[in-house]
């Protein structure tokens, strides 16, 4: 027969949020009840920080899906065109400088 292990669970209600009614957290480890009582404040503050961070992602104008969205095809094409334009401009700038340098050297001879 398998031995069942119990888990310690923290349920937080009365959250100051319009979107979250309650939060359920399952604690790691099977610490003793006295150790859990001693670290109770830390557990609740960690849970509250997680809830606050999640609430901010829900209320922010950009959702996670929008943050990780791939750039559009038009944006890729624009970036490639600007890259090519920059490379061509750099090439002609260097060519112009070398032309002026060589003409200066040839004038000295």
The pLDDT tens digits of the residues spanning 26-54 come to 887 656 666 666 677 787 788 878 878 87
Domain locations in the chain? 1-68, 70-109
pLDDT value, residue 57: 73
- Distance from C-alpha of 109 to C-alpha of 104, rounded to nearest angstrom: 9
Q: How far apart are CA 76 and CA 96, in angstroms?
A: 30
pLDDT(1) > 60? no
What's the CA gap between 43 and 91, in Å, rounded? 60
Question: Full-prediction pTM beyond 0.75?
Answer: no
pLDDT on residue 66: 59
- Cα–Cα distance for residue pair 35/33, rounded to 1 Å: 5
What is the predicted pLDDT for the residue at 85? 92
Mean pLDDT of 76-100: 89
Task: Dump pLDDT digits (tens) for 91-105.
Answer: 998 888 888 877 877
């Amino acid at each position: 027969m398998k031995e069942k292990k119990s888990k310690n669970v923290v349920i937080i209600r009365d959250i100051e949020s319009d979107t979250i009614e309650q939060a359920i957290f399952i604690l790691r480890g099977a610490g003793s009840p006295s150790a859990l009582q001693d670290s109770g404040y830390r557990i609740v503050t960690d849970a509250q920080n997680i809830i606050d961070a999640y609430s901010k992602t829900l209320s922010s104008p950009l959702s996670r899906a929008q943050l990780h969205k791939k750039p559009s095809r038009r944006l890729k094409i624009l970036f490639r065109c600007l890259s090519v334009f920059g490379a061509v401009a750099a090439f002609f700038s260097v060519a112009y400088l070398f032309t002026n340098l060589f003409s200066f050297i040839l004038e000295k001879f």
